[in-house]
Structure 1
Amino acid sequence: MLKWIAPLLFALPAQAFQFEALEGGLIDLDDLRGRAVLVVNTASLCGFTDQYAGLQRLHEEYGPRGLTVIGVPSNTFRQELGSEEDVAEFCEVNYGLTLPLTTITPLRGPDAHPFYRWLAEQGAVPRWNFNKALLDTEGDLVAFEGAATRPDAPRLLRAIEAVLPE
């Protein structure tokens, strides 16, 4: 079930966050202002890993229309490969990913990335891999879906369509 979250509840928009990019440099959510953003915590050795293919399709289909899909590899649930190099190779060889990926990032606990601490404050806590946080063009969280919601799920596609820039 899609959880809609009222943007007025947030003190800090998501644009204030940066991730280290797997290929080097930063993925700065502030630079994505004006675009819808789908942030997905991922893992290479998870039963849901085949969702990478759907995320790539979203990237290709909706990217030109104003959606950025960001994969956030994490070992929080102990299902990620041992190094960023292994993750990059796995994603390229098995899925041909061209969507932006971050370095391996903690999601929960004292070392959690600030973005995931912010999500937790909003009541959107990843309970497994491949949770999807949809941000509107202003960086407000508008939907949070669990791992069982596939990237091509009609309700997720409707939520994406609703926040694409005009």
Structure 2
Amino acid sequence: MSIYDYDVTSEDGKSYSMEKYRGHPLIIVNTATKCGFAPQFKQLEEIYQKYEGQGLIVLGFPSNQFKQELSSSEEAAQSCRTTYGVSFPMHKINDVNGKKALPLFDYLTEQAPGTLGSAIKWNFTKFIVDKEGNVVKRYAPKTNPLKMVDEIEQVI
């Protein structure tokens, strides 16, 4: 299995294959608009704007498993756009842990377990994926995205 074997659903309900991103470095992050870490959207957007021309894609995956997300995927994405200026792709609200977890997140956490096990502990857990689809590094929710720049530049 690789990251390209998974399908995901965009905020508007359209399913697509992660194969679409083959050859692109990625930042994949589980998000929540009402989370105390939501200001990280600004840093993620800053990184996206700076490195998009070099192929980097940031992918936001809202989750309400920690009870900090709006009621619909469309509302969550709209809030990200109007409040934080997000222009990177956002997705359908999904679970990131447990039996109903989005399979992509099962794969990510298997490839890059956290310090206290593989489960996603909170919103804004971030994963860097290289151009070949390898999960390179996992960052904790509290890590400011701008502290990931050295690792990002290594995969671009």
TM above 0.5, yes or no, is yes
Q: 2:119 aligned with 1:132, yes or no?
A: no
Q: 2:153 aligned with 1:161, yes or no?
A: yes
Indicate the residue corresponding to 1:89 in structure 2: 78
Indicate the residue corresponding to 2:14 in structure 1: 25
**Deviation of the 1:28 alpha carbon:** 2.7
The two structures, once aligned, show a CA RMSD in angstroms of 1.3
Indicate the residue corresponding to 1:152 in structure 2: 146
Equivalent pairs: percent with the same residue? 34
Indicate the residue corresponding to 1:3 in structure 2: none
Greater relative CO, 1 or 2 (CA 8 Å, sep 6+)? 1
Give the letter for the 2:150 counterpart.
Answer: R
Q: 2:28 aligned with 1:36, yes or no?
A: no
Indicate the residue corresponding to 1:7 in structure 2: none
Give the letter for the 1:144 counterpart.
Answer: R
Provide the secondary structure at the position in 2 that maps to 1:152.
Answer: helix
**Deviation of the 1:88 alpha carbon:** 2.3
How many residues were matched structurally?
Answer: 151
- Could you tell me how far apart the structure 1 residues matched to 2:12 and 2:138 are? 27
Structure-2-length-normalised TM-score: 0.91
Give the letter for the 1:112 counterpart.
Answer: A
**Deviation of the 1:27 alpha carbon:** 4.6
* Runs of 4+ that moved beyond 3 A: none
- The gaps in structure 2 that reach 5 residues or longer are none
Structure-1-length-normalised TM-score: 0.86
Provide the secondary structure at the position in 1 that maps to 2:146.
Answer: coil
**Deviation of the 1:92 alpha carbon:** 1.8
- The gaps in structure 1 that reach 5 residues or longer are 1-11
Give the letter for the 1:23 counterpart.
Answer: D
The 1:162/1:17 distance shift into structure 2, 3 A limit, reads: same
Q: 2:46 aligned with 1:57, yes or no?
A: yes
